[in-house]
Structure 1
Amino acid sequence: MKRGPALMAAATGLVSALALTACSTSATSAGGGGGALTFMTFETPALTAKFWDTSIAEARKEVPDTDIKKIVSPDADRTAYAKQLQASGQFPDILSSVNPKDFTAAGLLKPFDQKWLDDNFTDPDGNAIDGKSYIPPTNSQIIPMVFYNKKIFAEHRLQVPKTWDEFVDVVTALKKAGVTPVEMAGGEPWSAAIPLSGIITADVLGADPQWIQKRYKGEVKFTDPGMTAAAGKYRQLIDAGAFDKGALSVSYADANKQFLDGESAMYPMGSWFIGQIPATAAKDFGTFLLPSGTGKTIVPFNTGGTTAVSAKSSDVAGATKFAQAWSLSKPNLKTLIETDGAFPMLKNVPFEEFGAKVTPVYTEGFRLVTEDNTKVSAFGQVNNDDALPPGVVEQFNSLAQKLFTSSDVKGQLASFDADWDKAAK
């Protein structure tokens, strides 16, 4: 099956300052000729500075004459930072995990060779936009999975919910017992949007996988009944006290810690969170998918990947070779499997060859990837034809934060419709 954030600096000086303070340089070789290629990365609790340095060194074994200078995005919004760098004439040669649609219209990204994609990946068109792929489909993610604390569920005699009503009943029971039902990293827009994204994917895209394409054609609206009902479910959880009242001020790192420390019972988050669960505690956690309105299992799927290549690079060929080497590196994928919960999608590498040590929670997630089920694009999380228009991901994230405090669901969705129409012109 083909499955198919924007901020501009106020002044060039500010952009240059950001770039300088965020830069660090990896080990380089004596070759390279035209100077080092810049590689914009980002850091998370799983993907640390050490990971990036090691992964760069690993990829350079395949392209020893290519020097790489690492640039680190100052926050989680890699797309916004790349736009800052582009506005100041410092667009990186290689970029990690950006939203391609924000750059393809300006011809800033170089698509990967289709034969290379076909030869190396199980879902070669998983990241295709208008038939071209700007990020290799190296791995996949489920966004979100609902992680839960088995001890808390057992203590309160709760079962994993199979329907939405059962999910709300679990929330209500936990709230009554004085337990925070659902963890939320609402202080960071991208993570604040995860629960809303999951509900929309389960109910709207689960019922009609072509919904986003129909929205591009103007055949549906966010104010239509189905989407309004989905956003209404998000408000239902808020009204039921599912989240802590201060959730909009909680960082991603703090939310992770609070959930792992047993301060909340459930946590809707991308499958990358698997890597944050210590192996020694893995038996205490499980996972399930947000129940859809129909009760059918809907997997909110994202074909992932990391490296995009600038079409404006002074050495497009060298940047492409490095990006390809990084994407096919088994040691890099092994680390992503173990620390970032990545589900590999390399065509010619059986899972056992990675030598990765995984937990039962990882196995549960990987089963959803490999088995025959209904997979649809995770709303607002993909880099293929179902990606949102340029800049709209940031507006969706903002919508989720606004809905946390506003009960005017239809009004907020009408405003988002206007944002979409403006961006999609």
Structure 2
Amino acid sequence: MRNKPRAFRVAAALAAVVALSACTVGDNSSTVDGKQEVTFLTFETPNLTPGYWDAAIKRVTAKNPDITVKKLVAPTADGRTAYAKQLLQSGQFPDVMIAVSPAGFAEAGNLYAWQPDELKDFLYPTANPINGKYYQLPANTQTIPPIYYNKKMFADAGVTATPKTWAELLDASAKLKAKGMTPFVIGGGKDGFASSMILSGLVSVDLYAKTPDWLTKRRSNQAKFADPDFEKALGKFADLAAKGYLDKSAVSRDYAATEQAFLDGKGAMYPMGNWFAANADTKKPGFEIGVFNVPTEDGTVVAPAYTGGGMIVSAKAKNLDAAKKFALAFQLDKEQLDASVKADGLFPAIKGYTLPSDVGPVFKAGYELYQQAQAQEAVVHAFRWETADDGLLPGMADKVDAAAQDLITGRRTPAQAAAFLDTEWSKAG
């Protein structure tokens, strides 16, 4: 699937960024025109365009004229943590990073630990602890993944209700396939998470609903990927591929192309994080989009979600106070929060925050699903997306993606995929 090893590609991208930069991160200068400089690592997606980040930075610096920000961009949307590692190893660790997993960085003393008074404005200030400390601002909640669907395709295939049980999902998929439609749009390529979304949902709604601390148990070797409950989720995922409900050739398609394939009507269902709602509402394809939770065996409501994803700050930033000030100002600014809702479909986890009145129908539908799950106390962690003490070991998210791709293509059986994950876990530990 890949022509060159990941490390080579990331290193090459790093070299390109440094070469093109007028002022590298490694420069000794910590001020620009008398202002305190902060380096800020971002990433780009179809939702989060260069213009989105530039406008956000401008809003914050306009209110904090003593700070100037140098933007860096990760070479891939899903490779930002690996890229941050490359920058750290080359002595160019950014001052501020967004949506970069703190695992590994924090334990090595590379990150600033936020203090309780600095987290007072966040709804879930104790999210994602690492050894009892908090390194990532718990800025927003994301449901990962709801399943978006093409209402016209469902109607044309005779699917009259959104599936609530796994059997109903299989029945809907069979009807869609019988009509010559691709049931699920999936991807992969350089953005491996697009391959593992359904698997993430299955582990979350089937295993985590029963054993919410399963990953904590895995960290203490009280559980294994080869255990029956986890392997069952792998088996259900592999069954979708075996039945032809997943397009095996699509695992080389990157995230942007995967999203576009769904918007172009090339498949009926699209399992993706709630950030997709932003583009669903703005790009407005020629069909109506609905959304439902990943079905459970018995139809009970379970919603996988992750709260976090915010800024982390280098403990060794040249202008540490400025870096902290920028990070908090960015995450708490009302205009920025509204922009994140509209551009990336996020659910801000900020006290007193109210949604903009003009959010779109797909966003509203997904947000209502989340609120219903909250009311029923049916929100669980989103497998693969957790961070900190209850998350995967560093590097394991990529291994989950690889296992998912192998199940889709048939290169591994569920038992072999489970054994692979246990072996890689041992290496990562």
> In the TM superposition, what whole-angstrom CA distance separates every residue of 1:84-119 from its partner, at most 9, and x where no partner exists?
1111111111111111103112111112121221x2
For residue 263 of structure 2, what is the aligned residue in structure 1? 260
**In 1: Cα distance, 2:405 partner to 2:163 partner:** 26
For residue 171 of structure 2, what is the aligned residue in structure 1? 169
For residue 3 of structure 1, what is the aligned residue in structure 2? none
Q: Superposed, which structure 2 residues align to 1:62-211 within 5 Å?
A: 62-76=63-77, 77-117=79-119, 119-158=120-159, 159-187=161-189, 188-211=191-214
Contact 1:29/1:65 (CA < 8 Å) preserved in 2? no
Deviates more, 1:401-410 or 1:78-87: 401-410
Deviates more, 1:413-422 or 1:315-324: 413-422
SS in 2 for 1:101: coil
SS in 1 for 2:75: coil
Q: Does 1:408 align with 2:413?
A: yes
Q: Does 1:221 align with 2:224?
A: yes
Amino acid in structure 1 at the alignment position of 2:332? L
Amino acid in structure 2 at the alignment position of 1:271? N
Task: Provide closer, same or farther for how the CA distance between residues 11 and 143 of structure 1 changes in structure 2, counting only shifts above 3 A.
Answer: closer
Identity across the alignment (%): 38
Deviates more, 1:10-19 or 1:395-404: 10-19
> In the TM superposition, what whole-angstrom CA distance separates every residue of 1:52-109 from its partner, at most 9, and x where no partner exists?
1111111123432111111111112100111111111111111111111031121111
Contact 2:146/2:274 (CA < 8 Å) preserved in 1? yes
For residue 291 of structure 2, what is the aligned residue in structure 1? 287
Task: Provide closer, same or farther for how the CA distance between residues 19 and 199 of structure 1 changes in structure 2, counting only shifts above 3 A.
Answer: farther
**In 2: Cα distance, 1:57 partner to 1:291 partner:** 42
For residue 252 of structure 2, what is the aligned residue in structure 1? 249
Q: Does 1:343 align with 2:347?
A: yes
For residue 18 of structure 2, what is the aligned residue in structure 1? 19
Aligned residues: 411
> In the TM superposition, what whole-angstrom CA distance separates every residue of 1:308-363 from its partner, at most 9, and x where no partner exists?
10011111111111101011011111111012110111103333xxx352122211
Q: Does 1:422 align with 2:427?
A: yes
Amino acid in structure 1 at the alignment position of 2:128? N
**In 2: Cα distance, 1:220 partner to 1:153 partner:** 39
SS in 2 for 1:43: coil
Deviation at 1:11, TM superposition (A): 11
Deviates more, 1:331-340 or 1:232-241: 331-340
Task: Provide closer, same or farther for how the CA distance between residues 422 and 201 of structure 1 changes in structure 2, counting only shifts above 3 A.
Answer: same
**In 2: Cα distance, 1:12 partner to 1:179 partner:** 40
Contact 1:143/1:301 (CA < 8 Å) preserved in 2? yes
**In 1: Cα distance, 2:12 partner to 2:165 partner:** 53
For residue 304 of structure 1, what is the aligned residue in structure 2? 308
For residue 27 of structure 2, what is the aligned residue in structure 1? none
Amino acid in structure 2 at the alignment position of 1:350? T
User: What TM-score comes out, normalization by structure 2 length?
Assistant: 0.90
Amino acid in structure 2 at the alignment position of 1:194? M
SS in 1 for 2:88: helix
Amino acid in structure 1 at the alignment position of 2:246? F
Q: Does 1:326 align with 2:330?
A: yes
Deviation at 1:242, TM superposition (A): 0.9
**In 2: Cα distance, 1:356 partner to 1:38 partner:** 34
Amino acid in structure 2 at the alignment position of 1:313? A
Amino acid in structure 2 at the alignment position of 1:423? A
Deviation at 1:147, TM superposition (A): 0.1
> In the TM superposition, what whole-angstrom CA distance separates every residue of 1:365-415 from its partner, at most 9, and x where no partner exists?
222333413111100112243211111111111111122222421122112
**In 2: Cα distance, 1:249 partner to 1:12 partner:** 21
**In 2: Cα distance, 1:282 partner to 1:382 partner:** 35
**In 1: Cα distance, 2:145 partner to 2:286 partner:** 18
**In 1: Cα distance, 2:12 partner to 2:343 partner:** 36
Correspondence for 1:240 among 238, 243, 248: 243
Contact 1:235/1:407 (CA < 8 Å) preserved in 2? no
Task: Provide closer, same or farther for how the CA distance between residues 15 and 388 of structure 1 changes in structure 2, counting only shifts above 3 A.
Answer: same
Deviation at 1:273, TM superposition (A): 0.4
Task: Provide closer, same or farther for how the CA distance between residues 24 and 201 of structure 1 changes in structure 2, counting only shifts above 3 A.
Answer: farther
**In 2: Cα distance, 1:17 partner to 1:296 partner:** 49
**In 2: Cα distance, 1:400 partner to 1:66 partner:** 43
Contact 2:225/2:422 (CA < 8 Å) preserved in 1? yes
SS in 2 for 1:207: coil
Deviates more, 1:193-202 or 1:263-272: 193-202
**In 2: Cα distance, 1:229 partner to 1:18 partner:** 43
Contact 1:181/1:264 (CA < 8 Å) preserved in 2? yes
Task: Provide closer, same or farther for how the CA distance between residues 125 and 22 of structure 1 changes in structure 2, counting only shifts above 3 A.
Answer: farther
Contact 2:13/2:75 (CA < 8 Å) preserved in 1? no
For residue 390 of structure 1, what is the aligned residue in structure 2? 394
Gaps of 5+ in 1: 1-5
